[in-house]
Amino acid sequence: MKALLWFVAVSLVVSISHCSKKPVGIARKEDIPYIKCQVCEKLGKELHQQVQKKQAEISPKKISEYQIIEITENSCNLKKSEADWILRIDIVEKGDRLELVEQDSEGQCNSECKTIERACQEVLGYSDTDVAEYLYKSKPNVDSLRNYLCKDLTKTCSTNPPPVPKDRTPGEPFVAKSDKEAEMEKILKSMEGMPGAPGMKMYSRDELMNMKNFGDEDADDEDEDDDDEADLPSKLGKVLREKESRKGDWKQVVRKGIADTSATLKKHADRVSNQIRKWWRGKKTTTSKKGSKAGKSEL
């Protein structure tokens, strides 16, 4: 029950944006053959730009091969910031072909977004380390990287794409995100994998109002040593209600909530670690005594 409580607590803290919950898009696999080569070319461009950007950030240090591998591995995963380039692309039908048109801002991720992600994953496949090694050792320009990735290594652009069927169902229109929504999603992505903050997502205001009392009915079941943990849901509810009543800086509220929750989680983890350590020491002592008695009896 505690694990579930912590999961919901952390999720609630990060969910205080005004973004509404969005439907999950599904990739249209039948569209992949028409866009795969273009996706590969855009992927090559993005990899080159991101490696150059990373090098500039850490200069005068030299970018490591591991850092390049990490960029390459994440470039086709929409849960990672390295794949944000996918969010700026719209699939447009022009005659008997599909064209990837880059937009000025990020858009809502629906089926087209998922289709590009899937095509990117099919292009890269198990070649991510090969591409990273080529980037690290050869330091190619954009055109050389595209040729290596799309023609030499994966053969993605070795043939022309087939014509698009006339009865193809058009995709959804490109809908740009608001600046606030885009910034919130960047915060969530930057926290991906953070200890004590798993599976975070955003909720609408109505969903938050329905969920803010979650966990109160189980508070009485906690031990006296866990008073801080038991009070956490009510404290989070207070934070949310204060957010509704004043027009403060929502980013500060998010960061403060995350910091408070992480501190409590660390306290809880330390307590559990100490209990395990004591148990293990007791077990070793008991085993040692048994071994000593057995030795005396043999004598």
Find the mean pLDDT for residues 70-92: 96
Residues pairing with 152 in the sheet: none
Judge whether 233 and 219 are in contact, CB under 8 Å. yes
Q: Which residue has the tokens 């409580």?
A: 5
Mean residue pLDDT across the chain? 77
Burial of residue 58 (CB within 10 Å: 0-12, 13-18, 19+) is exposed
The model scores a pTM over 0.85: no
Residues pairing with 94 in the sheet: 97
- Each residue of 233-288: pLDDT tens digit? 566 566 556 655 554 566 676 677 777 777 777 676 677 667 676 666 665 566 55
| Structure token digits, residue 73 | 């591995």
Find the mean pLDDT for residues 205-216: 52
- Each residue of 14-55: pLDDT tens digit? 444 444 445 568 999 999 999 999 999 999 999 999 999 999
Decide if pLDDT at 168 tops 80: yes
The confidence score (pLDDT) of residue 86 equals 97
The confidence score (pLDDT) of residue 19 equals 44
176 by DSSP, 3-state: which? Answer: strand
- Does residue 60 have a cis bond before it (omega within 30 degrees)? yes
